Structure 1
Amino acid sequence: MEGMHALMRRRSKGLVMAVFLLMMAMLLASCGGELQAMNKKTSAEPVQASDFVHRLYLERDDYREGDQVTFISELEYVGDRESVTINHAMTPFYYAIRDSSGTYSFPYMMDQPLIYTTLYPGKPHVEKYSNGWAYLINDSNEILIENPADVPFPAGNYTVVGSAEFNVGRFGENNENEEPVEVVGKEVGFTVAP
């Protein structure tokens, strides 16, 4: 009889622990959506070209020198098909970054493999970019690649325009479009404090 009570107490503790873990998982899952929404604090208006919509977000609009500035881009297919496959370089997203002083340049480079991404209506393809680095510009507007700034984004005011460029189609097929689809986004601003 004593063994039966010990077994029931262990099962009861196990059940309490399972309920606790389930409640924590549900709490974390519900917070995940809020955190994701909070990360999309500053955004530009969505831009549509053909059957594709591009959205650009910043995690914050105020940073300090040394902070990691992260851009979040979304590309969503809004056409009538079940899915569409696009082909692009390392990523379909590009960024043009400008500082208000004209002191710095932010070249955007990426590998150029041919990558395929399948897009589904209502399920945007999302990527984060946080690899920007400031390079000095001299008086003749030449970028001095050998002279990077001390921090990726020195104190100042910045604007970024995100865009997406890709072709529609799979390997071995002709692209459905003669020219790449380019969705040029709208400008988003942010500030970096010293």
Structure 2
Amino acid sequence: MRVSKLLLSLIMITFLLGGCGSQGNVDNISSNSDDYDVLNIPRAEITEDDFVYRLVTEKEEYQKGYSVKIYAELEYIGDKETVIIYHAASPFYFPIVEKTRDYEINYGMNEPLLSTTLKRGQPLREEYEKSGGYGEQDKKEYVDFIKSFWENGFPAGYYVVDGYVDFYVQSNEDSNDKEDFNIKTQIDFKVNE
């Protein structure tokens, strides 16, 4: 009888403790973003050959619940008036990592072959739109994080955007020779409680 009561008590404690750890609330997970300093300025720019790639966020720190603005630009600075670039659905990619939790917010892309004409000195600009996903093999905490991100925007944390632009140009209009470009840079920011 005493063994049954002890066993029943252990089972009850196990259920109670198990329930406390799986509330599914992203806010209950400490982001520890205070342990991180924003290392980059909110704007990164890199020039490769005849192209300038910029990755920008409006602020180094945002308050939770406010919109985080991120955008990228590609500018042609070569000798021609225009140049045609070939790319997937967009030449811009915005993969993001929340460093305190080590969570990736992937950036998927449809991959048709599209072309865009760039005019010299006129940047092509694209704003970041929410992305990311999860699968049935992902941990509940990660799934809760992504769901919260989709519904409420960036949860509190320290974020690094490893942005890049991926495209090619034909070297000569009369041939199939092409020059590939994959220009990368990085920005970071915090979201505070």
Which TM-score bucket, shorter chain as reference?
Answer: 0.5 to 0.7
Determine if contact 1:133/1:148 at 8 Å carries over to the other structure.
no
CA apart distance, 1:97? 1.3
With a CA cutoff of 8 Å and minimum separation of 6, indicate the structure with the bigger relative contact order. 2
Count of paired positions: 145
CA offsets 1:87-114 (integer angstroms, 9 cap, x no match): 1011101123122213421111011122
The equivalent of 1:64 in structure 2 is 63
The equivalent of 1:182 in structure 2 is 182
Q: Unaligned 5+ residue runs, structure 1?
A: 1-40, 137-141
Give the Cα–Cα distance (whole angstroms) in 1 for the partners of residues 158 and 133 of structure 2.
13
TM-score by length of 1: 0.64
CA apart distance, 1:173? 6.3
Determine if contact 1:69/1:130 at 8 Å carries over to the other structure.
no
In the superposition, relative to structure 1, how do residues 164 and 174 fare at CA in structure 2: closer, same or farther (>3 Å)?
A: same
Give the Cα–Cα distance (whole angstroms) in 1 for the partners of residues 127 and 89 of structure 2.
13
Determine if contact 2:46/2:52 at 8 Å carries over to the other structure.
yes
The equivalent of 1:147 in structure 2 is 143
The equivalent of 1:74 in structure 2 is 73
Give the Cα–Cα distance (whole angstroms) in 2 for the partners of residues 79 and 121 of structure 1.
7
Determine if contact 2:108/2:132 at 8 Å carries over to the other structure.
no
The equivalent of 2:100 in structure 1 is 101
Superposition CA RMSD, Å: 2.9
Percent pairwise identity = 34
The equivalent of 1:51 in structure 2 is 50
